Amino acid sequence: MSDDTAVLVLEDGRTFTGRAFGARGSTVGEIVFNTGMTGYQETLTDPSYHRQIVVMTAPHIGNTGVNDEDPESTRIWVAGFVVRDPAIRPSSWRSTRTLDEALAADDVVGISDIDTRALTRHLRERGVMRAGIFSGDALRDAGGRLLVEQDLLDVVASAPVMAGADLAREVTVSEPYTVEPRRGPASGTDAVATVVAIDLGIKSMTPQRLAERGVRTHVLPATATTEDVLALAPDGVFFSNGPGDPAAAVHEVELLRSVLDRRIPFFGICYGNQLLGRALGYGTYKLTYGHRGVNQPVLDRRTQKVEITAHNHGFAVDAPVEGESTAPYDDGRYGRVVVSHIALNDDVVEGLECLDLPAFSVQYHPEAAAGPHDADYLFDRFVELMTTGGVEDRATGDAPATATEETTDAPSH
């Protein structure tokens, strides 16, 4: 076995042998596949991929290298990276280093030169599962003995599963920060609205999309309380994308219910969509292999337009797809809800809209930096919701308003 050998071991015992790519060593996580042909740097730096080994289905990866402008966060978050044919050298004038160098610098273990088509088909048939990548010294024990397949499989079997994992606090910002509005050449312009964004694994492009529309965004950690949110007198609250099982996010769901009770306009994406679903009383469930890529067709039922969208989710909301339903939580406290968007490949719920509250969400990424940008309009919807309705019923006292109550003395901020 050469020094460049790497082995990928799946939880069900299937193995692939290839070449080491990035850092040498070992890593374990849930193995998932991404169907995007571009945007690998945004994928690598998306906190939603925390604890996941990502397989790129496009065969040729790394041709544009890595630059300092495109990261969605301050580090690479994927647990491991799997590619078939890494580029020999970058071909972009913006590149400052190779993909291999970037992975190694962030100690991300990868593997290349394997049949990613066969691996993807396997995951589609069997579902995502735990896996491990092993290279270098990780292929031998302390005495220098080459480890056998069962040894590596035992390591994979000891890794935590994604179901039940509460991961937002492992990726959230440590300190609050503010992104000022940016309209035209000027910055720091008077804001058209103020948003509190709860960072569950937020990507840097999200507050930038709001800044482009004149919105000031205060980004708070996932541990933020209702008091923290109200202290900033927001015109709207935003819940970001993020990793983990939404069923484990008890604190975040309670925070969101306090936002809904006060009728503060709300917008959530990806993980935020799942948390809105749970706050309303609907269930969530784990998809067999999830949606990950930049080419997912979604129907916007309000306009009947089909959007090509960017996705990264392994869980989905379990809500009635047809017609209106009453939110199950607390005997219908939050009123009527419709599924606003639906995936055209498999009919998965891709968006929720509250009819009696100023709240909506989508399961995909309208802010996707590498594209597509079909869903940019959702940020305009959020701004419209904050500036034209839903604010007058806000309450900041101890007795929250419900979807069926009228509040006439809610103070302005």
What distance, in Å, lies between the first and last C-alpha atoms of the chain? Answer: 67
Query: Six-digit token pair at 376?
Result: 């940019």
Residues 364, 310 contacting (CB under 8 angstroms): yes
User: For residue 406, what pLDDT is reported?
Assistant: 35
Q: Are 151 and 186 members of one domain?
A: no
Q: Are 182 and 292 members of one domain?
A: yes
- The helix or strand, by DSSP H or E, that contains position 297, with its residue range, turns out to be strand 283-300
Question: Is 21 annotated for ligand binding?
Answer: no
Q: Does the residue 405 lie in any domain?
A: no
Q: Are 200 and 348 members of one domain?
A: yes
Q: What is the pLDDT of residues 393-406, one digit of tens each?
A: 433 333 334 333 33
User: For residue 1, what pLDDT is reported?
Assistant: 66
Domains: count for the chain: 2
Q: Does the residue 126 lie in any domain?
A: yes
Query: Six-digit token pair at 103?
Result: 């992975």
Q: Are 235 and 132 members of one domain?
A: no
Report strand pairing: 182-183 vs 186-187: antiparallel
Whole-angstrom distance, CA of residue 252 vs CA of residue 278 = 10
> What percent of the chain has pLDDT above 90?
85
Q: Are 269 and 238 members of one domain?
A: yes
Q: Does the residue 398 lie in any domain?
A: no
Q: Are 340 and 379 members of one domain?
A: yes
Q: Does the residue 407 lie in any domain?
A: no
Q: Does the residue 367 lie in any domain?
A: yes
Measure Cα distances from 18 to 32, 54, 74, 132, 295 in Å.
18, 16, 29, 13, 28
CATH number at residue 52: 3.50.30.20
Reduced to 3 states (helix: H, G, I; strand: E, B; else coil), residue 217 is strand
Question: Is 323 annotated for ligand binding?
Answer: no
Is the per-residue pLDDT at 411 higher than 80? no
> Maximum Cα–Cα distance for the chain, whole Å?
75
Q: Are 379 and 310 members of one domain?
A: yes
Q: Are 376 and 273 members of one domain?
A: yes
Q: Which of 340, 329, 336, 387 is nearest to 357 (CA)?
A: 336
**Which residues lie below 8 Å from residue 151, measured CB to CB, with a gap of 6+?**
141
Q: Indicate the pLDDT class of residue 368, thresholds 50, 70 and 90.
A: confident
Measure Cα distances from 26 to 3, 109, 116, 302 in Å.
14, 6, 19, 47
Catalytic residues: 270, 365, 367
Q: Are 142 and 260 members of one domain?
A: no
Q: Indicate the pLDDT class of residue 413, thresholds 50, 70 and 90.
A: very low
Q: What is the pLDDT of residues 195-223, one digit of tens each?
A: 999 999 999 999 999 999 999 999 999 99
Q: Does the residue 411 lie in any domain?
A: no
Q: Are 43 and 127 members of one domain?
A: yes
User: For residue 187, what pLDDT is reported?
Assistant: 55
**Facing residues of 76 across strands?**
none
Q: 39-71 in b/e burial notation, b at 16+ Cβ within 10 A?
A: bbbbbbbbbbbbbbbbbbbbeebbbbbbbeebb
Whole-angstrom distance, CA of residue 146 vs CA of residue 388 = 67
The number of helix segments (H) and strand segments (E) in the chain equals: 10, 22
Q: Which of 388, 379, 175 is nearest to 269 (CA)?
A: 379
End-of-domain residue from the set 104, 127, 157: 157
Q: Are 130 and 226 members of one domain?
A: no
Mean local confidence (pLDDT), 85-91: 94
End-of-domain residue from the set 157, 179, 197: 157
User: For residue 403, what pLDDT is reported?
Assistant: 36
End-of-domain residue from the set 137, 157, 177: 157
Question: Is 315 annotated for ligand binding?
Answer: yes
Q: Indicate the pLDDT class of residue 89, thresholds 50, 70 and 90.
A: very high
User: For residue 394, what pLDDT is reported?
Assistant: 39
Give the residue ranges of DSSP H helices in 262-376: 271-279
Question: Is 412 annotated for ligand binding?
Answer: no
Q: Are 46 and 66 members of one domain?
A: yes
User: For residue 389, what pLDDT is reported?
Assistant: 67
CATH number at residue 334: 3.40.50.880
Question: Is 314 annotated for ligand binding?
Answer: yes
User: Domain residues for 117?
Assistant: 5-157
